[in-house]
Copies of this chain bind each other. A is one copy, B any other.
Amino acid sequence: MPLYTLTTQAGVLSHEAKAKLADDLATFHADYSGVPKEWVQVVFQDYAAGNGFTAGKPSAVAALILQIRTGRSAEYKRGMVQRLWEFVQQATRASDNQIVIGVNEVPPSQAMEMGKIMPEIGK
């Protein structure tokens, strides 16, 4: 944790764009959260053209799901998703109605990282 999963249509992000975005996300996350950059995992899931839909019509949906530990304030998470939106939109050039971002929270006791049960936030 954190685990970023960015799902986009194949071809939207080049290898170079993915590498840049992964590094931008890791750097941003470490700065924003205070956790080591080494904890930040990013996986890009590409789907074939024709597998994304907005309002029931074909669309290059870009969906970012972020898994973090519970314990952060609403303000912290609000600020985070707003910044993530900018990263995703800049990299994918998707329009506002094609992007969705959600933060899933997992209690530290039920997540592992680096071979250890995650500590509570701030511990």
Chain A residues at the B interface, C-beta cutoff of 8 Å: 1, 3, 5, 7, 15, 18-19, 22-27, 36-48, 50-59, 61, 63, 65, 67, 74, 77-78, 80-82, 84-85, 96-107, 109-115, 117
- Out of B27, B52, B114, name the residue touching A42 (CB < 8 Å): B52
Q: How many monomers of this chain does the complex have? A: 3
Residue of B nearest to A8 (CB): B43
CA of A114 to CA of B15, assembled, Å: 27
Residues in B with CB closer than 8 Å to A3 are: 63, 100, 102
Residues in B with CB closer than 8 Å to A38 are: 54-55, 97
Q: Which label, helix, strand, loop or mixed, suits the secondary structure of the A interface? A: mixed
